[in-house]
Amino acid sequence: MEAAVRPERILKDLRGLWVDLGKDEPAGVLRACAMTLVVVVEEERDAAAIGETIASFIHEHPSRAIVLRVRAGDESALSARVFAQCWMPFGSRQQICCEQVEIISSVASFADATSVLRGLVVPDLPVVVYCPSEALWPTPEFLDLLPLCSKVIVDSHAMERAPSALSYLQSLSRTAGFRKADLMWARITPWREAIAQIFEDPARMRCAFDLEEIQILYRSDLGEPSSVYYLAGWFMSVLGAGVKIRIAPGVGPEYAGIAHVTITGPKIKATVDLTTSDTVDVSVNGEHLQMTVFPPATETDALRQELAIANRDTRFEDALGLGQLMYQGGQP
């Protein structure tokens, strides 16, 4: 008979893990935890990749990481294991470790798994739920998890009909106590920074208030990426509904699905043009202003950025609302 998977059992295993780790290391180990991070994925998703993603940012966001893998099927079995992610900081003699729990459930036992999760959150610390698997978003079990969490993060990067992620996020209760995020918004931060940079100059800043048209060119094999609607929503939230926004397919390299942005007003025409997969050239009125290298737009980097945002992100909320309106019915 399989062992029962219960929170107290997993917590006991975690306690045992720390005792063992302490025995193995002469200097002991340092347990680090600043949040509970729950990652909910379909089992098809590469287990090693998820592990690597967590390992690569865990030292920046030390957490009790709970990976819930949901596999297809109607078996009622549930399994769990605990282990630690440890690293030795440069110049230190003591390892720092974070605990990790992996729970495998089937679609049929998904509800059982979420009931286990409730007992595993670290008290008094934020609970962040990250779910990159679109198929799980509408399930009652996943929605049942949300009241537990302070922040829910999705990723619309690899979705077909990616902009529908905006509708999904908007549909999550506004009154709930958790904050919402899409890694695609984090991925377009370098675009937004490059655009904001243009208007740091006082003369150009004055032009920002009477811009007339924004053109966003995207490039994606999956149709319009959600990033264009986030960017469009952001422009609208900053400039008001009067500005005309055009979204069109483009050519050349893309970064977070976007290839090129043109900003036009009576006295300014600024272009932010991706020249390689991570290099943008910023020009104003035909004159080169700056070359910028964008950081990698990987899931890990976007998660790292998103986990650092502990407060409400009103810019995102505004962009989400307006971007979704635009996606649904054209420009509001």
| 35 SS3 class | strand
CA 247/CA 331 separation, integer angstroms: 11
Comparing CA positions, the residue from 188, 143, 194 lying closest to residue 301 is 188
Which CB, 39 or 282, lies closer to another protein?
Answer: 282
Q: Is residue 66 within 8 Å of 103, Cβ to Cβ? A: yes
* Residue among 72, 135, 158, 291 that touches another protein (CB under 8 A): 291
Which of the ranges 42-50, 108-116, 183-191, 219-227 carries the binding residues for another protein, by CB under 8 A?
183-191
What is residue 147's DSSP assignment?
G
CA 141/CA 127 separation, integer angstroms: 17
* Residue among 83, 315, 328, 331 that touches another protein (CB under 8 A): 315
Comparing CA positions, the residue from 34, 106, 30 lying closest to residue 65 is 34
Which of the ranges 10-18, 135-143, 170-178, 191-199 carries the binding residues for another protein, by CB under 8 A?
191-199
* Residue among 99, 141, 224, 313 that touches another protein (CB under 8 A): 313
- Please, which of residues 44-83 interact with another protein by CB under 8 A? 57-62
Kindly state the tokens that stand for 57: 């940012």
Q: Is 239 in the site for another protein (CB under 8 A)?
A: yes
Q: What angle do CA 311, 314, 315 make, to 5 degrees?
A: 120
Q: Shortest Cβ distance from residue 293 to another protein (Å)?
A: 5
Which CB, 142 or 185, lies closer to another protein?
Answer: 185
In terms of DSSP bridges, do strands 213-218 and 179-182 run parallel, antiparallel, or are they unpaired?
unpaired
* Residue among 89, 223, 296, 332 that touches another protein (CB under 8 A): 89
Residue position matching structure tokens 């709930």: 176
The footprint of another protein (CB under 8 A) covers 30, 32, 34, 57-62, 89, 91-92, 96, 186, 189-190, 192-202, 205-206, 208-209, 238-239, 279, 282, 289-293, 305, 308-309, 311, 313, 315
